[in-house]
Amino acid sequence: MLWAWIMFCALDLHRRNINRAISDRMLPEIGMDTNDFNYGQTIFLVSFLAAELPSGLISKRVGADRWIPFIICCWSIVAGSQCFVKSRTGFYVIKVLLGLLMGGFIPDIVLWLTYFYKSTELPMRLAWFWTALSTVNIVGSLLAAGILRMRGINGWSGWQWLFLLEGIVSLIIGIFSWVLMPPGPCQTANWFRGKNGWFNEREEKIMVNRLLRDDPSKGDMNNRQGVGALMLLKVLKDWEMWPLYLIGLTTYIPPSPINTYISLILRELGFEVFEANLLAIPGQFLFAVNLLIITWVSTKYNERSIVASISNWWMFAFFVGLVAIPKASPWVRYALLTGVVSYPYCHAILVGWNARNSNAVRTRAVSAALYNMFVQSGNIVASNIYREEDKPLYIRSNRILLGIVCYNIIQFYAVKAFYIWRNKVRERQWSALTPEQQEDYVVNSTDEGLKRLDFRFAH
């Protein structure tokens, strides 16, 4: 779990460092403006989106322990080469490559973690996993505050040193990932991890039994077994999973533009480069705290939709402030922006919810990728909301984001109602069977995953 977190840091380091680089005059130095930057982010996200499902299928076939270290090393080299970007075209080319290499990481690593943890254990661990976002933003802001001051060394700008040095860091992480990732709980032995592995035979049996008792579908496939075209089509037709995909599409749109531009916005409000990067830290710290709290509450009370809706209720108050008093003082505006980016991130809840309702390794491998594809589609929308002509206050944009927040709140309750209804339908069908028919169904039915009559959706 710890190394999964470190690998995620290697990913997010390069997803977010561009936000800090643009506070160091990167855009004018390579002949770009805010709209050009938005197009670059869109290109990255489209490539990221396009890679998610193919990468998930490759990872399922060759093994996450082989595929993930490979793509980390590749994206580290490409990300580090951004230090040589001189034009808009070069910027766009690198964005395409980064998106294609990074796209599959999150669904691949989440599926890999399901090999080790029960469905009730996964959400809280994913909450810690996603603290990588705030950790990288905090550490990245501190690093940027220092590295961007290297402007002039070797004739380079600060942002060039930023890309080069952080590329080296993530490349080291990628190299170590080759020897630190085991294929599964019963395959932990190698020359680096120890010839006897992490667990003895009795411990391995305990681990496997506890996983299968929690989710018998985990015994249906091994971690090197691919998903064929027919199974892919079958998962796409599982319409009862689509409400979760639709939640992923819009839930994270409202805070995304502010997360991207907060350092640049603070610069435009009169703060220096050093101050703008350091002032981003408090919001990221609160983000991590709120993430852990909301996931703990969800796990403790076994409630997903209502608890997850708190994320958008939180943002609602701050967006009302941004819309109602758009010309507030720089410090008041900073407080409102910090309030938005510190929202309780419900992604761990939703990913665990998606895995729980998939109810099969075959379905889970594809549904994890599909869910993340919808999330990235939402990010594509979000990357084009803050426009050059609307800066620096982004009054029109914030009104749009407030409207999306209101929609998201309604959507969470609608999805809960949907799954309550589906469970009632299943229960009526199940109760209509005699005890003998129910026993025969459990033993002999060919229904799989969420199609089984004895399965109930979590909500």
User: 75-107, pLDDT tens digit by residue?
Assistant: 999 999 999 999 999 999 999 999 999 988 988
Q: How far apart are CA 89 and CA 306, in angstroms?
A: 45
**CA-based end-to-end distance of the chain:** 26
- Residue pair 171/45 in contact (Cβ under 8 Å)? The answer is no
By residue range, what is the domain housing residue 425?
2-188+201-222+239-451
- Among 459, 5, 425, which residue's Cα sits nearest to residue 247? 459
Q: How far apart are CA 278 and CA 19, in angstroms?
A: 13
- Residue pair 404/250 in contact (Cβ under 8 Å)? The answer is yes
Tell me, yes or no, whether 194 lies in a domain: no
Tell me, yes or no, whether 457 lies in a domain: no
Tell me, yes or no, whether 195 lies in a domain: no
User: 223 by DSSP, 3-state: which?
Assistant: coil
Which positions ≥6 away from 294 have C-beta within 8 Å? Answer: 307, 308, 310, 311, 344, 345, 346, 349
Query: Which parts of the chain register pLDDT below 70?
Result: 215-232, 235, 359-365
Tell me, yes or no, whether 428 lies in a domain: yes
pLDDT attached to residue 362: 60
pLDDT attached to residue 435: 87
pLDDT attached to residue 321: 92
pLDDT attached to residue 354: 85
How far lies 90's CA from each of 30, 103, 250, 298, 349, in Å? 9, 20, 31, 44, 38
pLDDT attached to residue 221: 47
pTM, rounded to two decimals: 0.74
Opening angle at CA 316, ends 129 and 309, nearest 5? 50
Summarised one tens digit per residue, pLDDT across range 254-304 is 998 888 778 778 877 888 777 877 888 888 889 889 988 998 999 888 899
Number of neighbouring beta carbons within 10 Å of residue 182 = 21
Count up the domains in the chain and report the number.
Answer: 1
Q: How far apart are CA 188 and CA 324, in angstroms?
A: 56
Tell me, yes or no, whether 193 lies in a domain: no
Q: Write the single-letter amino acid at 117.
A: Y
Which positions ≥6 away from 139 have C-beta within 8 Å? Answer: none
Tell me, yes or no, whether 40 lies in a domain: yes
Tell me, yes or no, whether 156 lies in a domain: yes
CATH of the domain at 393: 1.20.1250.20
pLDDT attached to residue 225: 52
pLDDT attached to residue 232: 65
Q: How far apart are CA 306 and CA 288, in angstroms?
A: 20
* Percent of the chain predicted with pLDDT > 70: 94
Tell me, yes or no, whether 232 lies in a domain: no
Q: How far apart are CA 295 and CA 289, in angstroms?
A: 10
Write out the two tokens for 312.
């958008």
Q: How far apart are CA 322 and CA 318, in angstroms?
A: 6
